[in-house]
Structure 1
Amino acid sequence: MNKYNSIVNNNQQQNSNKEPLFLQQINNPQYWINLFNTLLSNVIKIILLSLFFWLLYKFGKRVVSRVTYNLRINTTSSNRSRTIATLTQNIYFYFLAFIYIYMVLSIMGAPVGTLITGAGIFSLALGLGAQGFVSDVVTGFFILVEQQFDVGDSVSVGDISGTVAYIGLRTTQIRSADGTLNYIPNRNITIVKNLSRGNMTTIIDLQLFPRTNIKQVTQVITQVNKDLTPKIADLVQAPQIIGPIDVQAGLLHYQISLSTKNGAQLAVKRQFLEAYLAALQQANISMPENTLDLTQ
């Protein structure tokens, strides 16, 4: 009987030795205690790390705002200082985000070094897929360095015209006159028409009959210029009378050139055109009209 009991005990001992290590661990209370302590410690570390990086981001953001404010007061324009602030904050945010993710993965025990090394296996494919992104970033950098445009400038990029609302590392946002916000990848910005640099010139094209007395028209226009020019502060210089330039479709084209401050060209043009038409009408100078006969 004793021999039989010893055989049974030996078999039970062998079966227990054959039990998988994982089952042995989960059946051990100390394993769960250690796991809970590790998780709790990692969670506390991540919370403290997140708080630290949040404070670091807020501090860096205030520093950038302070520096750009000093630039705006000293020599840099308001639009350019806002552009520098936006790009600097983006770069600072991406840098902190990369460091934060790296440290979180390290706390969680992820083999970050192995992951970075393993990333070299598909780096070629990743590089091909990120060509557009890299091109956007490089183009955005040169837009800033070359001062092609700043936030608040009126620009025309391809078929899109409007005011620059935001310049980022990857995209530029332009708000059209109707309120539409256009997102343009920086790599697609090849030719830019900046309407906010220097004075602007606009042309008023008056259409007259070829038989019109040109000397009388010139006298009327000259008098309007003399009366209206002192009242408009947005004029850079007195209007220049170009005079008759061409006859098209039986009409004589008479032009006046206006040089205005940036952004005021349309308003000044409307004021002068209204005054010209009223003065010509008062001088009994006939103006061509497009008549529509609805009787037939």
Structure 2
Amino acid sequence: MESIIENTWNYLTEPKLWMNIGTGALKIFLIIIIAMLLIRIGRKIIVRIFQNKSRGPFRITERRENTLKKLIENILKYTVYFTAFVMILDTLTIKIGPLLAGAGVAGLAIGFGAQNLVRDIISGFFIIFEDQFSVGDYILTSGVEGTVEEIGLRTTKIMSWTGEQHILPNGNVTQVTNYSVHNGLAIIDVNIPYESDFAEAEKIIEELGKTLPDKYEEIIRQPEIIGVQTLAASHYVIRVIAETLPAYQWAGARIIRKEIKEVLYKRGIEIPAPRLVMYSRNQEPTSLEMERDKEIE
């Protein structure tokens, strides 16, 4: 027992041991620092490359640029971290060959049950390759609506307009509605009471519409009056449409609705009120009711 304690004490107090530990710790520290520097330098190089894209023969849109930039940064980060991890294992005198071989066999076994993971990666590749949507686009997919924050090879992050972040596996993205590709169309229904003249209301709305494109950048063209959409009990409905910037059709509709309401109110056309028809039992029957009673008899 005393010999074991003595050998252990001699081993722990040996200068060579602490020299090896210090050297290994210094190597690990340097590996981590170099990995962080490589990632930072790589990000700057990526930004510089995309900044100079206008001088080269290949031109890409800003939305696709943001997507590719984020994807390349993620690939760089994962590659550097994996390489640093392997170097740290080698510094700790852990044999990498058998570990990688075992990981390969385990990966092959897991691969048979990782069909969803493979599907997510393949779907992510085609999302980026086909440019179905990009970072910054406003989309609707899988019951989630919001702005795309990040597109990875496995998942997509979407931020809803109320602040929630949704993370979707790319394999679940089977159908996408992209509101950021083409200009939007704002649709506004204006209720006009029957007492007001249609021509007068149409003239007022047209005069207002001429000023809106210069007043609001969201509205691209002058709003167009389609005509009378429906006839209700106390009013008729005039439908107005306007072309807006992509994903701004809802904001444009609110703006136009507010402006129309204010100008109609100033010109004496108020919001139509609901109408009720009162009938009294003691009221004498009209001539039409008397004729109808005779026909029944």
Displacement after TM superposition at 1:165 (Å): 2.4
1:196 aligns with 2:180: yes
| CA-to-aligned-CA distance 1:227-248 (integer Å, 9 cap, x gap) | 5455444433222211113346
From the superposition, tell whether residues 149 and 30 of structure 1 become closer, same or farther in structure 2 (CA, over 3 Å).
closer
Shift of 1:259: 0.7
Equivalent residue, structure 2, for 1:71: 53
Provide the residue aligned with 1:245 in structure 2: 229
> Are the structure 2 counterparts of residues 131 and 39 from structure 1 closer, same or farther at C-alpha, using a change threshold of 3 Å?
farther
2:260 equivalent in structure 1: 276
Report what 2:86 is aligned to: 102
Kept in 2, the 8 Å contact 1:206–1:254? The answer is: yes
Q: Partners in 2 of 1:104 and 1:166 — Cα distance?
A: 30
Q: Take 1:29 and 1:223, find their aligned partners in 2: how far apart are those partners?
A: 94
Which of 134, 138, 141 pairs up with 2:122?
138
CA distance in 1, matches of 2:75, 2:118: 14
1:39 aligns with 2:21: yes
TM-score by length of structure 2 reads 0.75
Please give the residue correspondences for 1:170-185 in structure 2 after superposition, counting only pairs within 5 Å: 170-185=154-169
**How big is the alpha-carbon RMSD for the aligned residues of Structure 1 and Structure 2?**
3.5
Q: Is the partner of 1:201 in helix, strand or coil? A: strand
In the alignment, the residues of structure 1 paired with residue 207 and residue 65 of structure 2 have an alpha-carbon distance, to the nearest angstrom, of 44
The residue correspondences of 1:99-248 to structure 2 (distance < 5 A) are 99-208=83-192, 213-247=197-231
Aligned-pair distance for 1:129? 5.0
Aligned length: 273
Moved more, 77-86 or 22-31: 22-31
User: What are the ranges of 5 or more consecutive residues in structure 2 without an aligned counterpart?
Assistant: 276-297
Aligned sequence identity (%): 30
Aligned to 2:181, the other structure's residue is in SS state coil
Q: Deviations over 1:245-289 (max 9, x none)?
A: 334677533211101222443343233323333444455546433
Q: Structure 1: which 5+ runs fail to align?
A: 1-18, 292-296
Q: Is the 8 A contact 2:212 2:222 kept in 1?
A: no
Which has the larger Rg? Answer: 1
SS of structure 2 residue aligned to 1:122: helix
Q: 1:289 to 1:186 in 2, by over 3 A?
A: farther
Matches within 5 A, 1:51-66: 51-66=33-48
1:15 corresponding residue in structure 2: none
1:139 Cα deviation from its structure 2 partner: 2.6
- Contact 1:156/1:193 (<8 A) preserved: yes
